[in-house]
Structure 1
Amino acid sequence: MTISPFPTWADVAPKLVAVAAGREAADLVIRNGHWVNVHSREVLPNQSIAIVAGRVAYVGPDAGHCIGPETQIIEADSRFMIPGLCDGHMHIESGMLTPAEFARAVIPHGTTSMFTDPHEIANVLGIEGVRMMHDEALMQPINIFTQMPSCAPSAPGLETTGYEITPENVAEAMMWPGIIGLGEMMNFPGVINADPKMLAEMAATQAAGKTIGGHYASPDLGPNFHAYAAGGPADDHEGTCEADAIMRVRQGMRAMMRFGSAWYDVEAQITAVTEKGLDPRSFILCTDDCHSGTLTEDGHMNRAVRHAIEVGCDPLIALQMATINTATHFGLEREIGSITPGRRADVILTSDLRSLPVEHVIARGISVAENGVCLVDCPHYAWPDHARHTVHLGKTLAASDFTVPAPDGANRVKAKVIGIVENQAPTKALTAELRVEDGAVQNDIDKDVAKVSLVERHRGTGNVANGFVSGFGYSGKMAMASTVAHDSHQMIVVGTCPDNMALAANRLGDVDGGMVIFKDGKEIALVELPIAGLMSDAPAAEVAVKAQGIVDGMRACGCSLNNANIQHSFLALVVIPELRISDLGLVDVTKFELTELLEDTV
């Protein structure tokens, strides 16, 4: 099966054989390095790599027989030659960048393969949006494989999306050249209950011989988990502890351990390998969500590998988890994931296997980055106008839209409150006693209780659902609004003042999406995300500066949480416990049902 426009092995096999035999010259030889072989888990000194037509033809102690007068030579100078890194599960939209600009940002960090699930844009633009992401992905100089989103909406009946994904959409997408499988199956209750739609999507994927992505966001490892595993998902990235990782691999799934901008789940799970001694072949490193600031300042998969090493993983095993394990899982072991004959020539030169400085990156046999600088062009897709105008509020919002009416005669009420958990996706279901003023329930800065509102922005209904959230630490009069609101990507607004909340929401309507912060009635930070209200096609460095402005603005309003902007955007993710908000109201994700915001008067 052809999985990208890149020439297949069959296309270039005669050249590979001829170069390996010394009958023809290689295009490129990387000479005199330490070959990190992820198949045998060993480091072989004084080795060279011969490359032709973008693929590895020969690896051995002397590639002199592959060198001709036109062969380019790169001196490894005893540096380590490691495979290009693979991200096994991630969402490009979380970087607030298009595929082209995301690729430009990660190439200098040594990421040469990504397995992306564009379910963010699927919620806004449906299968057409997925196709746009897929097409731009195939234009890039690195390998970007697309998983067809499975769940839009992620929880039917609990949220409203711009579009829905159907089994027919999935079956159609399985025929596209860059589709590698089905995106994370977030509707785990649907799978557990044998929902015909979910099973039909997975059946279409299985029939195409492709991989089903998992998402089991529950601590319950009893019969429900086993029912989910029986349904077909081949991996899962929602584990947060050692027991999660162990149970997944015992049931034949790959445990994908994520280390992104806000999710720090590697350290708690890696002990399944480092202490319990489980076979590391079933473990994969991924990022899930990385914002532009992380990409420009800290790295991407190189950052995840370094972290795994820092928390006790053997460097060679950590590299396997970011290369060959990922490739094998998706059926691409003969294409990517190692420096061996026939594979795409994706190579990193680094002087240290622990700190992992990425000094030179080769992708498909071309030097694409050196010393942190991207050397290649990353082409852009021609995004149509309707993809750039997706924020439809239906009216000018007022402060009254962001108020919670109190029961008649109440002076105080007991309200359910979404509790933020720093560096983790789950939230806590909290309660708080709140005062009533002028017939409206008030938030309480002293108790760290702010308002959270979900503004419908796909159909222009003017609907606003209101609730309360704790954990941001906001003070004063402020509001933050974002059209990045996983997974329905309505508009989510958090604030301490209805007037500022209205200002922030209307501002995003004016700029067709993004993130904005108002403090004391003035705009203090803005990042425009005009493509589907999720992405910018500006360079990552420019977006990162504006995104950092959002982080700084949140801090100026009293928030000290790590990556608080990502925590903000996940308040509407109604498939991860315990409590969330959608356009339909407050959602109890432990029961997968809507729940009343106010419990009682006090």
Structure 2
Amino acid sequence: MRNTFCKMPLWECNRTLIKVAQGQQPADLVIRHARLVSVTTHEVLEDTDVAIACGRVAYLGIAPHTAEHCIGEGTTVIDAAGSFVAPGFMDGHVHVESSMVGVDEYARAVVPHGTTGIYWDPHELCNVTGLEGVAEVIKVAESVPLKAMVTTPSCVPAVPGFEDTGAKVTVDGVRASMGWDAVVGLGEMMNYPGILSCQDDVVQEVNETLRSGRSVTGHYSVCETDRGLNAYVASGVSSCHESVRAEDVLAKLRLGMCAQIREGSAWQNLHDLAPAVADGSIDTRLCNLVSDDNHPNTLVTEGHLDRILRMAVREGIDPVTAIQMVTINVATYFQMGADMGSITPGKCADLVFIEDLKDFRVTRTVIDGEVVAEDGAALFEAGGHPYPAWMCDTMHVAADISEKAFVIPATDEDGHALKGDTALVRAMVVSPGSTITEQVRVEVPVKDGALTADPAQDLLKAFVFERHHATGSFAYGFVRGFGIHGALAQTVAHDAHNLLVVGDNDADMALAARTLVEAGGGEVAVQDGKVLGLVRLPICGLMSPERVERVAADVDAIEGAWADMGCTMPSPFMTMGLLSLACIPSLRLTNRGYVNTDSFRLEPVLVRDE
């Protein structure tokens, strides 16, 4: 697979690098007196010089050797003055759309934190606009220095037959995308039941990727490490970011899988997974640290991979090992280690200056031999991309979203009125920092012929309205764990991204739904007839055209509203956004109804007599 993410191919510039290394031609850039983090040998090389030409490393002057012979009249010299210099950080699994800004603004947020490359699965926007939308955002990525390497979304819809999305990705689409310069693999294969049952179209997507010589990334979200996992790996799926237990990490590594240890804004798995590798007894060459999903306020206030490195070290992972997990391990997994992932001769000159190996404060970022960020600020412009109208007109809700739409009739499957003051229903239960929901059975009040929310039990009503094709379809259920009074709505509702509304009263739920339709999508919090917070996301109902700092401020405000409404969980909108993700245990709600993701069947809201 040709790497199109470097300034120029090695075969076009190796003669220059040969000459620079021998002092026969001056370098473009020389970095002096660095404490070089060698990810190839797990060392810190004191007082090392790096000579760069044509966007690639030409020479390492490891003490007592220096790069003085590479310096000419036109050479830029940077004195690292003893700072640590490491390879640029790479995120092995990320959804840029979760940052609620375009990839150009995302780059402006993360590059100053040392991120030089991302492996981006844009399946969120693909569920709304298809591969045409993916092609459009690839154009946006080309406007900034960040290396945005794309994995083609594999599961659009995530689980066919259980939800309605805005688009569909077929085997033909996957095959065609493997010829795109930006594509380096297949996005997370969430349809593991399809793999295990040898479903033709699912396996064919994997096979088209393997045939092209690219990596197949995975999503095995069940706590099973025997026959199913073996079969999943045998199919050709070679990585997974869905581990929730240390034993899951070990099982995947033992089967030759790349174990991607996740720490995002809401999915906080690092603490539980670090013990699998922290004591140094396990070879970590197949481990990556990844973010998966980050809210914009996390990126602006805490950072990106530098944040995860800080946390990894606090959890007992050796700092150089942690750096390997965001550099050489990532590049090697995606078959790009010949060009990226280490500071060694011939490799792309993507590197980062760090004050220490504890706090990982980044002071300078270099991509392809160009300084692109210093002291926390990007040195390039972003934003202003003119997205086409079809990406900004995606709210097509045909269902009635007045107050009466949120009345859940207290009738059985034959339409007969239920007897009594309560009814037994199925409900989803969410937990802070987890992607997993529980399924419980709970008694709900029956009032005026309707099933109602019950704040005393922290029980809210939940609705999902189809919003792509104006079909008018919708479904309802119940959810516990948010602890709020009022209503919340969002179009960031994985993976179909339909209109999701939860609340304890019909008036607030209707206002929340109408507000988002008028805004073109986004997130809103409503209480007692008042909008407490709103994040407008008119691009696919997922992203804002505003600067990342502005969006971060809006997200801060709406999270403050959540807290005022009674919610205590971190990044609650991310947790809410997974209520409709029909490929993660155990119970989810789509526009077609409750989906039991253990048995993969639709379940009724009411529990029948047993």
Normalising by the smaller structure, the TM-score range is over 0.9
Aligned to 1:451: 461
- In structure 2, the CA distance between the partners of 1:360 and 1:112, relative to structure 1 (3 Å rule), is same
Q: Within 5 Å, which residues of 2 pair with 1:182-331? A: 182-275=186-279, 277-331=281-335
Measure how far apart 1:517 and its partner are.
Answer: 1.3
Distance (Å, rounded) in 1 between the aligned partners of 2:101 and 2:471: 28
Deviation at 1:601, TM superposition (A): 7.7
Q: Which runs of 5+ in 1 are unaligned?
A: none
* C-alpha distance in structure 1 between counterparts of 2:532 and 2:440, whole Å: 30
318 and 143 in structure 1: CA distance in 2 versus 1, 3 angstrom threshold: same
Root mean square deviation, CA, Å: 1.4
Give the Å deviation of 1:392.
0.6
Q: Which amino acid aligns with 1:479?
A: A
| 389-398 vs 239-248, greater mean Cα deviation | 389-398
Task: Return 178-187 or 510-519, whichever deviates more.
Answer: 510-519
Cα shift readout 1:291-329 (whole Å, capped 9, x = no counterpart): 101000001011111111110100110110111000000
Which residue among 337, 346, 354 is the counterpart of 2:350?
346
Measure how far apart 1:32 and its partner are. Answer: 0.6
Measured in 1, the distance between the counterparts of 2:132 and 2:84 equals 42
User: Is residue 2:134 matched to residue 1:130?
Assistant: yes
Counterpart position of 2:414: none
Q: 1:505 aligns with which of 513, 524, 527?
A: 513
Partner of 1:48: 49
1:9 aligned partner:
10
Is 1:555 aligned to residue 563 of structure 2?
A: yes
Is the aligned partner of 1:432 residue 2:436? Answer: no
Report deviation, 1:231: 1.3
Distance 2:198 2:473 in 1: 32
Percent identity between matched residues is 38
- The secondary structure found in structure 1 opposite 2:110 is helix
* Conservation of the 8 A alpha-carbon contact between 1:186 and 1:575: yes
Question: Structure 1 CA distance, aligned partners of 2:119 and 2:385?
Answer: 19
Asked if the contact 1:467–1:586 (Cα under 8 Å) also holds between the matched residues in 2, the reply is: yes
Q: For 1:424 and 1:275, how far apart are their aligned partners in 2?
A: 25
Shift of 1:183: 0.2
Q: Distance in 2 between matches of 1:428 and 1:189?
A: 20
- Distance in 1 (alpha carbons) for counterparts of 2:308 and 2:184: 23
Call closer, same or farther: CA 1:299–1:426 in 2, change over 3 Å. same
Contact 1:401 1:464 in 2 (8 A): no
Deviations along 1:318-374, one digit per CA (max 9) or x if unpaired, are 110111000000011122111111111111111211111111111111111111111
Quote how far apart the aligned CAs of 1:379 are: 6.1
Using the TM superposition, give the Cα deviation of residue 2 of structure 1 relative to its aligned residue in structure 2, in angstroms: 4.1
Alignment-derived partner of residue 527 in structure 2: 519
State the alpha-carbon separation in 2 of the partners of residues 582 and 89 from structure 1: 25
Q: Which amino acid aligns with 1:56?
A: V
CA distance in 2, matches of 1:450, 1:547: 22
2:393 equivalent to 1:386: no
Note the alpha carbon deviations across 1:372-393, whole angstroms, 9 max, x for none: 1111123654310111110111
Q: Which residue pairs with 1:163 in the alignment?
A: 167
- Report the alpha carbon displacement of residue 403 of structure 1 after superposing the two structures with TM: 2.0
Q: Could you say if the C-alpha distance between residues 83 and 2 of structure 1 is closer, same or farther in structure 2, counting changes exceeding 3 Å? A: closer
- Residue in structure 1 matching 2:75, options 71, 74, 80: 71
Which position in structure 1 is the counterpart of 2:151?
147
Q: What's the CA shift for 1:109?
A: 0.7
Q: Which runs of 5+ in 2 are unaligned?
A: 412-416
Give the TM-score, by structure 2 length: 0.96
Matching residue's letter, 1:349: F
C-alpha deviation, 1:200, in angstroms = 0.6
- Secondary structure of the equivalent of 1:274? coil
Whole-angstrom CA distance in 1 between matches of 2:558 and 2:200: 42
Residue 594 of structure 1 corresponds to: 602
In the alignment, does 2:573 pair up with 1:572?
no
> How far off is 1:395 after superposition?
5.2
**Corresponding residue for residue 107 of structure 2:** 103
Counterparts of 2:547 and 2:172, CA distance in 1: 35
Matched letter for residue 287 of structure 1: S
Which segment is superposed worse, 424-433 or 34-43? 424-433
Counterpart contact for 1:479–1:519, Cα < 8 Å: yes
Give the 3 Å change call, closer, same or farther, for CA 2–323 of structure 1 in structure 2: closer
Q: Distance in 1 between matches of 2:137 and 2:188?
A: 17
Q: Secondary structure at the match of 2:203?
A: helix
Task: Give the total of aligned pairs.
Answer: 600
CA distance in 2, matches of 1:342, 1:538: 38
1:473 aligns with 2:483: yes
Q: What is the deviation of 1:51? A: 1.0
Partner amino acid for 2:470?
G
Does the 8 Å CA contact 1:22/1:65 hold for their aligned counterparts? yes
Which residue type is aligned with residue 460 of structure 1?
A: A
1:24 aligns with 2:25: yes
Give yes or no for the alignment of 1:544 onto 2:556: no
**Cα distance in 2, alignment partners of residues 175 and 379 from structure 1:** 27
The 1:243/1:473 distance shift into structure 2, 3 A limit, reads same
Alignment partners' CA distance in 1, 2:257 and 2:460: 40
TM-score (norm. length: structure 1): 0.98
**Equivalent residue, structure 1, for 2:474:** 464
